[in-house]
Copies of this chain bind each other. A is one copy, B any other.
Amino acid sequence: MSTKKTAVVGAGLVGGLWAIYLAKRGYQVRVFDRRPDIRKMKVVQGKSINLALSERGWKGLIGAGIEEDIRKVSIPMKGRLMHAVDGSLTFQQYGRDDQAIYSVSRGLLNQTLLHCADRYENLELVFDHRCTDLDVQTNTISFHHEKTGNEVTETFDQIYGTDGAFSAVRTRLSRLDRYDYSQTYLDHGYKELEIPANPDGTHQLRNDCLHIWPRGEYMMIALPNVDGSFTCTLFIAFEGKNSLANLKTPEAVNAFFKTNFPDAYELMPELTQDFFANPDASLVMIKCNPWHYQDRICLLGDAAHAIVPFYGQGMNAGFEDCTALDELITKHNEDFKQIFPEYSRIRKPAGDAILELALRNYIEMRDKTADKEFLLQKKIESWFSEKHPEKWIPLYTQVSFSHIPYADALRNGDRQQQIMNQVMAMENIEAQWNSDAVEKKILSLL
C-alpha cells in the first residue's frame, strides 16, 4: 500500500466522493475547499438545487459505502408528468416499473459524503482554503486562507482538481502549451422557484415524478423535496419575447405565470418574492483536453466537463469519473503514467457525449414532450424493448439505468432515431403502433 501524498482541491460532491476512494487505498489525502465546512451550515432542504441520482451515481455511492444513507432521503421519480396550459396531464414513464431516478438535495448529499470521508484517519478536510495558484513543475499549490488572509503553499505527489466548472486547477492547466479549453454559455438561463408543502407537510403535486411544463421555447420543471416542497426551475431565454429580460416587474411575472403555467401559479404564493430574490442564473458548458498533466495532476467532474442540467447527468457523470479512475488504478496497479492518459482517453469522449445528450434533452423536454408523435414514438420503443430487450434499449434507459459508455449511448441513440423515423412514417401508425407489422419493420431495420 502506497503512502502517496494526495490533494483533492474542491470538497463538493465529486471531490467528497473521490477523496473517499483515495482514502480507501491508504493514500494520505488532504481535501481543500474555499468554503467553510458545509456540515456546520444549515441546509434549507426546500431551497437547494435538486439533483437526480441515477444508476451511474448510485454505483459511485455504493463504492463509498454511503448508498443507504442517501437512499433514505431520496425520492424516486418514475417518469415525467407533463402539464399542458389547459391543466391536462400526460405521464411518460422513464423505464421499467421498477426503475426510477432519485431526487436528492445537493446539500444533504455533500454533508453525508464529508461525514463519510471524515471517518478515514488518513484523510483530512481543510476548509476556507482557496486555491490561488499551482506550480505544475513542483506540484505545489498556493492557497489563500479566507479567514486569516494568510497565503500558504503545500506540495503533493498528486493533485486532483474537483473544483467545479470554474476550477482553479484547470485554469492553471489551460495555460500550458497545446491545452484545449472552451467555455460556452447557453442563450437561455434559469430561475429557481418553489412550490411549498401543504400545511401537513405533504406534497401539493404528485411526488413520484418529475413535473414538466413544456412550452416550446421555454419550460418549467419541479422536483420533489423530502419536506413536502418542490424546487421549481424556469428555463428561458435571456433576451427576446419570452425572456428573463422581459420579466422585470411583479406584474410581468404574475401575468406570465398566470397565462403560461396556470395550475402551478395557484401553488406558488411566494412567486414574485422568490423571482426577484433569486438571480438570473446562467448555464455554462466546459470542455477541455487533456484531463490530466503527466502522472501528477488530474481533473474529475465539472472541472473537466461542466454540462447543462437537462439530462440530470452532471453529478452522475462526475461520480462515473471516480469509479472509472478507481478501476484504472487497480487495472494498472498504481502506475499513473498509464492510468491518467488512459483516463483522459476514455473519459473525454464520455464527457463530450453526455454534454451533447444533455443539450438535445433541453429541446426534448421543453418542446417534444408536448408533442403527441414524440410520445407515441417513445411508447413504441418501450413496447418493442420489452419484447426484445436484447435488441433495443431506449436511449433514456441507456443513459440513466445502465453503465453503457455515454459515447456509445449517443451513437446507439442516433441509429435508433433513424429507424424510428421510418417507423413513424408508416401509414396509420397511431392505430397499428403495437402491431406485428411494426415489430417486423423494426426487426428488418436493425
Contact = CB atoms under 8 A, between A and B. Distances in A.
B183 A182 contact: yes
A98 interface: no
Interface string A364-400: 0000000000000000000000000000000000000
B174 A179 contact: no
Interface string A212-240: 00000000000000000000000000100
B174 A178 contact: no
Most central of A178, A179, A183, A282 by chain B CB within 10 Å? A178
Interface in A183-201: 183-185
Contacts of A180: 183-185
A181 B179 contact: no
A339 to B, nearest CB: 20
A405 to B, nearest CB: 24
A427 interface: no
Nearest to A180: B184
A183 B181 contact: yes
A177 interface: yes
Interface string A315-353: 000000000000000000000000000000000000000
Contacts of A182: 181-184
A183 B184 CA distance: 12
A239 to B, nearest CB: 11
A278 B73 CA distance: 61
By Cβ-Cβ distance, the 6 closest A-B pairs, closest first, are A182-B182, A178-B185, A178-B282, A180-B184, A181-B183, A177-B282
Given A177-B282, A178-B185, A181-B182, 6 more contacts: A174-B183, A178-B238, A178-B282, A179-B183, A180-B183, A181-B181
Interface of A: 174, 177-185, 238, 282
11 contacts: A177-B185, A177-B282, A178-B238, A179-B183, A179-B185, A180-B184, A180-B185, A181-B181, A182-B182, A182-B183, A182-B184
